[in-house]
C-alpha cells in the first residue's frame, strides 16, 4: 500500500473514497442530552456534507460503525464514508487505528483501490490526548492491518488490495512529525502482517525448515544476523526437552536465532525474545480431538510474533541489543514420539551443570517444553531480560475469553514496561499470578517437574513451568492462545491470524 500525506482542505481532496471519523458526543448519563454524532474535524465543507446524515439519527457513531454518502455536496471526493469511533470522551489513537482498518475493509470488496483518511483534529476532540505522531502511526497501522486477507490459496483469488492511502492532515500539523509517524506505522503494520502471513500458512507449506528459511530471508532483507540450526545442534546443546517434541516427526526441527546489534551499543541490557514455533500440533501420543485440529497450524504464532517483532526492530533501530530464539518443530504421533510417563532432560544453563528433568504427563503440553530450552539458550547467549510468547494453553481462553491475552512476570519493573507499551499499541493483556502454591502443582515424584499441573489453573501452572527455566532473570510470559486467531471477521480485521503481540513486544523492546 502506497501512502502519502495531504495538507489540503478536505473539500479539495479528489479521491474515490474520503473516510472521516466521527464520535458520539453524548454528555454524561442523566444530563438529559441526546446522543450527538459529530465529525472529529473542523473542516466546514466536511461538516456541511455530513450534516444531514448525522442529524437523521440513523448513524450513532458507535465504534467502527459506517455510513456512506455518494457524491457528497461540496467535496471533490466521489464518496464520503463516516466511520464511528465510539464515545467522544473515550477516543484514543487505538480507536482511530481500528477506524482506519474499518475504512479499508469497507473499500476492498467494493473495488475501491484508493482512499483518503482524515486525521482527527485535536481541536475537534477537546481534552483527548491525540498527538499527531501517535494518531498518524496508528492510522497507517490500522489501514495496513485491514488490508490483509487470508485467502492465499484460492484458485479464483482476486487481488482486492487498497493500492493508495492518503492521510488528510490538518494544515497546522508539523510535516516532519507526520511523515515520521507515517513511516513508523508502515513498518509496524507490515511487520504484523508478516507474522499473520506466516501463521496463515498450512502445515504442509510451512514446515520448521521452511519457517527457518523464511526467517533467514527476512533477516537478509532488513540486516539482521540469522542462524538456523537443526537436529545436530539440539544434541550438541543437550536440548532434550526441545528434541523430545521434535523426535516424533519426520520433519527435522529448526532452532532459529536472530540477532540485532545496533551500532555503537556494547553495554546495557540484552533482550531475549523466545517464541514457540510448533508448525503443526497434533498433540502427539496424547492426540487432540479431530474437531478444529486444522487450526493447529497456528501453534507457531508466538514464534511468528518474535520473528516479526525482530523485523520491526531492525527497521526502527532502537539502541538496545536483542536476541530472538524460536524453537520450531512438529508435534506428531509416531513410533519415535515421546510417550506419557517419559522423563526428558532439559538443556543445562551451563555445560558443566545438570539439566532439569521433566516428567511428561501429557505430550500435548509440548509448547512449554520447547520454550524451556529456548529460554535457557537465550540466557546462555547473554540475555539479561526475557520475554516469551506462545499459543500455550486452552486454559487462558477459559480465563480471559478471546478478548485478552495472558501475561505473567517474575519482575514488576519488567512488567510495568510492557504495561506501558500496551497504552501505545492498544492490545489487551491481563496479568495473572505466579506463586509457590502453583509451583507445587508441577512437582514430580520421579523427576524435577511435570509438564502439566492438572486441569485447574492450567495457564498459571504452565507459566510456573517456564518460570523454572527463567529463574531469577527478569521475565515476561505471554499466553496468546486466545487472541492469535480471529474467529469471526471484525469490521477492521479479517477472520484468521491476528498477529497478536507483535506491536507490544516491539514497544517493550524500545522501552529499553
Residue 227, pLDDT > 50, answer yes
509's grid cell: 523492546
Spatial contact of 376 and 347, defined as CB atoms under 8 Å apart: yes
> Distance (Å, rounded) from C-alpha 145 to C-alpha 489?
13
Q: What share of the chain is helix, strand, coil (3-state, %, to 5)?
A: 40, 20, 40
> Distance (Å, rounded) from C-alpha 364 to C-alpha 362?
5
Spatial contact of 505 and 419, defined as CB atoms under 8 Å apart: no
pLDDT value of position 291: 94
pLDDT value of position 121: 83
> Distance (Å, rounded) from C-alpha 169 to C-alpha 167?
6
pLDDT 10s digits, 69-106: 999 999 999 999 999 999 999 999 999 999 999 999 99
Sign for the CA dihedral angle at 492, 496, 497, 501 comes to positive
Domain boundary assignment for the chain:
2-171, 192-510
Q: What are phi and psi of 130, to 5 degrees?
A: -130, 65
> Distance (Å, rounded) from C-alpha 59 to C-alpha 45?
19
Please report how many Cα atoms fall inside a 13 Å half-sphere around the Cα of residue 193, on the Cβ side.
Answer: 21
Classify 192-510 by CATH class.
alpha beta
> Distance (Å, rounded) from C-alpha 474 to C-alpha 251?
34
> Distance (Å, rounded) from C-alpha 481 to C-alpha 292?
14
- pTM, two decimals, is 0.97
Q: Which H or E run includes 372?
A: helix 367-380
pLDDT value of position 34: 57
Q: Radius of gyration (Cα) for the chain, nearest Å?
A: 24
Classify domain 2-171 at the CATH topology level.
Answer: 3.40.220
The dihedral formed by the CA atoms of 371, 375, 376 and 377, expressed in degrees to the nearest 10: 100
pLDDT value of position 370: 98
DSSP-assigned beta bridge partners for residue 21 = 83
> Distance (Å, rounded) from C-alpha 274 to C-alpha 347?
15
pLDDT 10s digits, 263-303: 999 999 999 999 999 999 999 999 999 999 999 999 999 99
- Closest C-alpha to 281, from 241, 240, 249: 249
Average pLDDT value over all residues in the chain? 96
pLDDT 10s digits, 157-178: 888 999 999 999 998 899 999 9
> Distance (Å, rounded) from C-alpha 461 to C-alpha 438?
6
pLDDT value of position 29: 55
- Pairing mode, if any, of strands 385-390 and 270-281? parallel
Grid-cell match 537465550, residue found: 378
In the predicted model, what is the mean pLDDT of residues 223-227? 98
In this structure, the number of other CB atoms found within 10 A of the CB of residue 36 comes to 15
In the predicted model, what is the mean pLDDT of residues 194-208? 98
Asked if 368 is an active-site residue, the reply is yes
Q: What are phi and psi of 108, to 5 degrees?
A: -55, -55
Residue 126, pLDDT > 80, answer no
pLDDT value of position 137: 98
Spatial contact of 55 and 31, defined as CB atoms under 8 Å apart: no
Q: Where are the alpha helices (DSSP H) in 201-236?
A: 208-222, 231-236
Of 87, 113, 233, 288, the active-site residue reads 288
Q: What are phi and psi of 34, to 5 degrees?
A: -85, 155
pLDDT value of position 125: 82
pLDDT value of position 23: 96
Sign for the CA dihedral angle at 79, 181, 3, 305 comes to negative
> Distance (Å, rounded) from C-alpha 413 to C-alpha 298?
31
- Pairing mode, if any, of strands 321-331 and 254-260? antiparallel
Of 97, 196, 368, 450, the active-site residue reads 368
pLDDT 10s digits, 417-453: 999 999 999 999 999 999 999 999 999 999 999 999 9
Residues shown for the chain: 512
pLDDT value of position 122: 77
pLDDT value of position 401: 97
pLDDT 10s digits, 235-266: 999 999 999 999 999 999 999 999 999 999 99
**504: Cβ–Cβ under 8 A, 6 or more apart, which residues?**
418, 421, 422, 425, 427, 429
Backbone φ/ψ region at 496: left (φ over 0), alpha (ψ -120 to 50), beta: left
pLDDT 10s digits, 20-69: 999 998 754 544 445 689 999 999 999 999 999 999 999 999 999 999 99
In the predicted model, what is the mean pLDDT of residues 142-155? 96
In the predicted model, what is the mean pLDDT of residues 364-388? 98
pLDDT value of position 465: 98
Sign for the CA dihedral angle at 24, 28, 33, 34 comes to positive
512's grid cell: 529499553
Amino acid at each position: 500500500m502506497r501512502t502519502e500525506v495531504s495538507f489540503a482542505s478536505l473539500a479539495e481532496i479528489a479521491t474515490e473514497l474520503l473516510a472521516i471519523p466521527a464520535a458520539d458526543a453524548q454528555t454524561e448519563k442523566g444530563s438529559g442530552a441526546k446522543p450527538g454524532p459529530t465529525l472529529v474535524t473542523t473542516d466546514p465543507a466536511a461538516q456541511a456534507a455530513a450534516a444531514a446524515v448525522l442529524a437523521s439519527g440513523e448513524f450513532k457513531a458507535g465504534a467502527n460503525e459506517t455510513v456512506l454518502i455518494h457524491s457528497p455536496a461540496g467535496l471533490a471526493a466521489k464518496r464520503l464514508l463516516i466511520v464511528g469511533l465510539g464515545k467522544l470522551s473515550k477516543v484514543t489513537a487505538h480507536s482511530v487505528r481500528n477506524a482506519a482498518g474499518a475504512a479499508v475493509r469497507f473499500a476492498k470488496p467494493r473495488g475501491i483501490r484508493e482512499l483518503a483518511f482524515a486525521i482527527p483534529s485535536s481541536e475537534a476532540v477537546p481534552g483527548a490526548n491525540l498527538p499527531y505522531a501517535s494518531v498518524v502511526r496508528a492510522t497507517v497501522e490500522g489501514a495496513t492491518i485491514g488490508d490483509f486477507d487470508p485467502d492465499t490459496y484460492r484458485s479464483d483469488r482476486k487481488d482486492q488490495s487498497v493500492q493508495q492511502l492518503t492521510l488528510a492532515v490538518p494544515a497546522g500539523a508539523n510535516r516532519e512529525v507526520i511523515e515520521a509517524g507515517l513511516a513508523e506505522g508502515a513498518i509496524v503494520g507490515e511487520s504484523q502482517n508478516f507474522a499473520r502471513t506466516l501463521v496463515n500458512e498450512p502445515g504442509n507449506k510451512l514446515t520448521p525448515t521452511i519457517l527457518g528459511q523464511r526467517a533467514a530471508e527476512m533477516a537478509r532483507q532488513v540486516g539482521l544476523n540469522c542462524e538456523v540450526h537443526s537436529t545436530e545442534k539440539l544434541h550438541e546443546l543437550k536440548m532434550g526437552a526441545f528434541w523430545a517434541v521434535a523426535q516424533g516427526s519426520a520433519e527435522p526441527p529448526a532452532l532459529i536465532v536472530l540477532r540485532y546489534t545496533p551500532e555503537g551499543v556494547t553495554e546495557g541490557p540484552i533482550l531475549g525474545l523466545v517464541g514457540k514455533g510448533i508448525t503443526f500440533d497434533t498433540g502427539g501420543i496424547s492426540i487432540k480431538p479431530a474437531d478444529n485440529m486444522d487450526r493447529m497450524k497456528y501453534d507457531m504464532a508466538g514464534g511468528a510474533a518474535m520473528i516479526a517483532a525482530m523485523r520491526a526492530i531492525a527497521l526502527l533501530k532502537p539502541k538496545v541489543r536483542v536476541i530472538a530464539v524460536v524453537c520450531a518443530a512438529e508435534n506428531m504421533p509416531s513410533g519415535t514420539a515421546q510417550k506419557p510417563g517419559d522423563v526428558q532432560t532439559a538443556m543445562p544453563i551451563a555445560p558443566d551443570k545438570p539439566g532439569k528433568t521433566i516428567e511428561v504427563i501429557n505430550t500435548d503440553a509440548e509448547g512449554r517444553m520447547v520454550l524451556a530450552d529456548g529460554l535457557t539458550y537465550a540466557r546462555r547467549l547473554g540475555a539479561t531480560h526475557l520475554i516469551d510468547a506462545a499459543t500455550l494453553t486452552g486454559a487462558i481462553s477459559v480465563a480471559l475469553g478471546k478478548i485478552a491475552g495472558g501475561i505473567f512476570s517474575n519482575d514488576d519493573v519488567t512488567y510495568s514496561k510492557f504495561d506501558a507499551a500496551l497504552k501505545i499499541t492498544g492490545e489487551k493483556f491481563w496479568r495473572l499470578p505466579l506463586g509457590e502454591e502453583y509451583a507445587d502443582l508441577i512437582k514430580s515424584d520421579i523427576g524435577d517437574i511435570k509438564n502439566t499441573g492438572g486441569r485447574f489453573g492450567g495457564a498459571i501452572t504452565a507459566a510456573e513451568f517456564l518460570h523454572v527455566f527463567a529463574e531469577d532473570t527478569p521475565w515476561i510470559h505471554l499466553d496468546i492462545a486466545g487472541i492469535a486467531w480471529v474467529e469471526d471477521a471484525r469490521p477492521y480485521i479479517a477472520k484468521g491470524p491476528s498477529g497478536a503481540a507483535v506491536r507490544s513486544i516491539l514497544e517493550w523492546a524500545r522501552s529499553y
